[in-house]
Amino acid sequence: MFNSLSDRLTATFKNLRGKGRLSEADIDATVREIRRALLDADVAVSVVRAFTASVKERALGLEVSQALNPGQQIVKIVNEELVGILGGETRRIRLAKNPPTVIMLAGLQGAGKTTLAGKLATWLKGQGHSPLLVACDLQRPNAVRQLQVNGERAGVPVFAPHPGVSSEFESATGDPVAVARQGVAEARTRLHDVVIVDTAGRLGVDAELMQQAADIRAAIDPDEVLFVIDAMIGQDAVTTALAFSEGVDFTGVVLTKLDGDARGGAALSVASVTGKPVMFASTGEGLKDFELFHPDRMASRILD
């Protein structure tokens, strides 16, 4: 991901090397190249516009620096703007003062929520937590079973609604809101300190799905609501992210499928238009293909 964007920006900045002072024309040409590179990487137009305006304003206001030449100063500005868009500092899960910490997952179908639930559980377990997975995706026939399989792989129990499906717990209802509430109560009783609630997704944003997610959110008052988005989604990222931001007021973003050939634009667009930090990156189908997202490292990788 970001390889092509990275190459383009590096080439642009190379042109500035050796220049003693940048003219307005130099800055304009550079900003134009940055704009093209971002658009080609699938970053949303509104985001590109705001980004380049900010870079240009700061570049025009540059003081002559002893330590950095103008080219380096622009790279520094672009780096800082990228880090800012991606959420600034590395954002870790906020743990509840009174456990369990409740983490809700939301996003479109196929975004990678159920897979992420297993990864997150594995990761948290590795840090000494005792997670419980809760299956509230009752929309897709196989979703509960899939979460169970992921739970088994992760060695983490799953609270599931359907009697008859092998589960350590059983509950009699098919109402996702009730299942979420019961799951959290079950975690409290059984002394799990983290609960991860998987919710249903549709192929496109729809009002019923959003209402269901909002109802679950209201019922369980999560410490984190993670919006899971496929990095390959490209320009659709913005509308989807805004709909979920309004619908469930998520607290952080998880980018999935970063192992694919996504051009990376979705990452920048989603974080920028919602103002929410990217918290995790998912990079494959395996339970361990998952990492904490560091905005500064990602920006440096782009500008490497």
Tokens of 92: 């870790």
How distant is the alpha carbon of residue 50 from its chain centre?
21
Spatial CB neighbours of 117, under 8 Å, sequence gap ≥ 6: 105, 133, 147, 150, 196, 198
- Cβ at position 160, least distance to ligand GDP in Å: 14
Residues 45, 269: contact at Cβ < 8 Å?
no
CA dihedral sign, ordered 15, 16, 19, 24: positive
Say how far apart CA 217 and CA 149 lie, in whole Å.
25
Tokens of 31: 């900003």
Say how far apart CA 91 and CA 68 lie, in whole Å.
30
Is 200 known to sit in a ligand binding site?
yes
133 belongs to the binding site for ligand GDP (CB under 6 A):
no
Stretch that binds ligand GDP, among 61-69, 154-162, 163-171, 253-261 (CB under 6 A): 253-261
- Cβ at position 250, least distance to ligand GDP in Å: 14
Stretch that binds ligand GDP, among 2-10, 42-50, 106-114, 175-183 (CB under 6 A): 106-114
User: E strands within 100-220?
Assistant: 101-106, 131-136, 158-159, 194-199
Spatial CB neighbours of 288, under 8 Å, sequence gap ≥ 6: 119, 122
Stretch that binds ligand GDP, among 9-17, 76-84, 170-178, 284-292 (CB under 6 A): 284-292
285 belongs to the binding site for ligand GDP (CB under 6 A):
yes
Tokens of 215: 């109802």
How many Cβ atoms from other residues are within 10 Å of residue 253's Cβ?
29
Applying CB under 6 A, which of residues 26, 259, 291, 296 lies at the interface with ligand GDP? 259
Is 258 known to sit in a ligand binding site?
yes
Is 199 known to sit in a ligand binding site?
yes
Applying CB under 6 A, which of residues 114, 148, 269, 272 lies at the interface with ligand GDP? 114
Stretch that binds ligand GDP, among 36-44, 58-66, 177-185, 254-262 (CB under 6 A): 254-262
256 belongs to the binding site for ligand GDP (CB under 6 A):
yes
Residues 42, 263: contact at Cβ < 8 Å?
yes
287 belongs to the binding site for ligand GDP (CB under 6 A):
no
Count residues contacting ligand GDP (CB under 6 A)? 18
Applying CB under 6 A, which of residues 87, 161, 201, 277 lies at the interface with ligand GDP? 201
Task: List interacting residues with ligand GDP (CB under 6 A).
Answer: 107, 109-115, 201, 256-257, 259-260, 282-285, 289
Numbered residues of the known binding site for GTP: 107-114, 198-202, 256-259
Numbered residues of the known binding site: 107-114, 198-202, 256-259
